[in-house]
Amino acid sequence: MINKKVDNVQDALQGVKSGMTMLLGGFGLCGIPENAISELVALNVKNLTCISNNAGVDDFGLGLLLQKHQIKKMISSYVGENDEFERQMLSGELDVELIPQGTLAERCRAAQAGFPAIYTPAGYGTEVAEGKETREFDGKMYVLEHAFKADFSFVKAWKGDAAGNLIFKGTARNFNPNMCGAAKITVAEVEELVPVGALDPNQIHIPGIFVQRIFQGKDYEKRIEQRTITPKN
Amino acid sequence: MLDKNGIAKRIAKEVKNGYYVNLGIGIPTLVANFVREDIEVEFQSENGILGMGPFPFEGEEDADLINAGKQTITALDGASYFDSAMSFSMIRGQHVDLTILGAMEVAENGDIANWKIPGRLVKGMGGAMDLVASADNIIVAMMHTNKKGDSKLLKRCSLPLTGVNCVKKIVTNLAVLEVTNEGFKLLERAPGVSVDTILEATEGHVVFEGDVPEMKL
């Protein structure tokens, strides 16, 4: 067993510097690396390029970094629900690149899997494809999209062990597995760090080889953006 | 003329036994309420669930279980969770049988615009570009005209495109139309709506054969 366990979020974020490019897991507020985001706020690193499907809400998730003007550029597929984001985007303080959700996932996966680029049909014929190489395969047009190059990946899992093995829960899985191993250093925070040997190898979603540092997360808020219910009758 | 539930009800008839279906936000979400109970259908939400169930009862909400609209949901027996790359493998790889989504504009060649209005705040395309570029079977659910009364079925889209030559069928409050090489083919009229009313509300070229039947809901 190669030990990836670090004692706390401070140790996990060693080496994070201003100007770096970060991959951050999560869809909306579901499955976001809450502890890593709090520590990025505490470190007050600036000029970050953040690649994440969404940009949080005003007072939670990546919204916390936006409040402190730590993000220079966001690469996302959907960025509603955040007034401060909107203000910074309209005033030109924040550079925003919107890309299709599946392309975002696949550019992570390409980085993880060692592909320099992939062809996708998404965005062909739209402004997303402007300036990009296109190619026809079997009569259909595709756009060349490059693998992300990032310094850190911050992911959140449900359970993990010191070997870095991860298991995700529900739809909190989303981009997290695709971002593991897609940056120079992958930092995983888990709700429950279990003893090595406690996880069934058959059930592991991400093998520890894709993770450099893992730590026991704490104080998870796990906010719900749209609480919708079926009335009991 | 149909209301939003009426549009959803008509589209639900397009959902066939054995289909995996992706529903967009808005009217498409309502379709799930009208699918026949005697057929087997699974709903996919692109954030990573197949076999999506209804909203949870109060007190049973789970922050780790949401749909692409970020609403709390439930998982039915037989459901599965997966990562975003796999989710879009289902979509891009054409394993999802039917995609139902809303639109701001559809052109007579099947182009669709539904993500961006110049001069207005842009929130992003989410998974829409992947869905429309890949799906074989795309139905658009929308009102026939916008709030100003302008047609949303056009010769060419005026807004930035989400995808090209991809929409197959459109169900509006006025009609069911199919995208063909000759333009929008009028298949059905909404109850009480005349062909003339539909022609008047459609900027794009409309073709039809004989008496256009009224929708059966």
Cβ distance of B124 and A78 shorter than 8 Å: yes
Residues B160, B162, B166, B172: is their CA dihedral positive or negative? negative
The pLDDT tens digits for A205-229 are 999 999 999 999 999 999 999 999 9
Cβ distance of A226 and B162 shorter than 8 Å: no
**Chain B residues with CB-CB distance to A89 below 8 A:** 121
Q: How confident is the model at residue A128 (pLDDT cuts 50, 70, 90)?
A: very high
Nearest to B123 among A80, A108, A230 (CB): A80
Chain-wide mean pLDDT for chain A? Answer: 97
- At position A113, the amino acid (one-letter code) is A
Cβ distance of A226 and B66 shorter than 8 Å: yes
The pLDDT tens digits for A134-189 are 999 999 999 999 999 999 999 999 999 999 999 999 999 999 999 999 999 999 99
In angstroms and rounded to an integer, the radius of gyration of the C-alpha atoms of chain A is: 18
Provide the pairing of β-strand B112-113 with B105-107: antiparallel
Distance CA A144, CA A122 (A): 10
**Chain A residues with CB-CB distance to B84 below 8 A:** 27, 53, 101-102, 104-105, 174-175, 178
Record the tokens describing residue A205, joined without a space.
């979603």
CATH 3.40.1080.10, applies to B4-207? yes
pLDDT for res A159: 98
Residue B121 has pLDDT above 90, yes or no: no
The pLDDT tens digits for B154-212 are 999 999 999 999 999 999 999 999 999 999 999 999 999 999 999 999 999 999 999 99
Q: Give the nearest chain A residue to B157 (CA atoms).
A: A126
Q: How confident is the model at residue A81 (pLDDT cuts 50, 70, 90)?
A: confident
pLDDT for res A80: 82
Burial of B201 (0-12, 13-18, 19+ CB in 10 A): buried
Cβ distance of A102 and B88 shorter than 8 Å: yes
Average pLDDT over residues A30-34: 98
pLDDT for res A154: 98
Distance CA A117, CA A52 (A): 19
Our CA-based measurement puts residue B34 at a distance from the nearest CA of chain A, in whole angstroms, of 16
Q: Which of B14, B37, B42, B46 is catalytic?
A: B46
Residue B190 near residue B217, CB atoms below 8 Å: no
Cβ distance of A126 and B70 shorter than 8 Å: no
> What percent of chain B stands above pLDDT 90?
95
pLDDT for res A78: 96
pLDDT for res B103: 97
Q: How confident is the model at residue A115 (pLDDT cuts 50, 70, 90)?
A: very high
What ipTM is given for this predicted complex?
0.97
> How far is residue A178 from each of residues A13, A182, A210, measured CA to CA in Å?
20, 7, 10
